[in-house]
Amino acid sequence: MVRGPLPLHLGDVVRLKKPHPCGSDRWEIVRVGADLRLKCLGCGHLVLLPRSRVESRIREIYPASAPPGAPPLKPGRDLI
Ligand SMILES: [Zn+2]
């Protein structure tokens, strides 16, 4: 399946397929570019990963611009 870039923005929270060793699977996007810098919401750990690698691991996106309580975006269902 070929899909375009996911709509990822500064401040968005993403849920990844594999949890961090600290137990949290939620990360905040703190820098956007060819590489994404993510901050673990469980322990505050920072990682820098190629965007393509992050996109392939995303299970849900919680856009920073979405109202509180809005359902997350799911790649493959809400996004092509
Ligand atoms: Zn962590």
Burial class, 32, CB count within 10 angstroms (exposed 0-12 / middle 13-18 / buried 19+): middle
Query: pLDDT: is 76 or 41 the higher one?
Result: 41
Q: What's the pLDDT tens digit per position in 8-40?
A: 999 999 999 999 999 999 999 999 998 999 999
Q: With contact defined as beta carbons under 8 Å apart, do 46 and 62 qualify? A: no
- Please tell me the distance between residue 5's alpha carbon and the centre of ligand 1 in angstroms: 25
pTM: 0.88
- Please tell me the distance between residue 23's alpha carbon and the centre of ligand 1 in angstroms: 6
- Please tell me the distance between residue 51's alpha carbon and the centre of ligand 1 in angstroms: 19
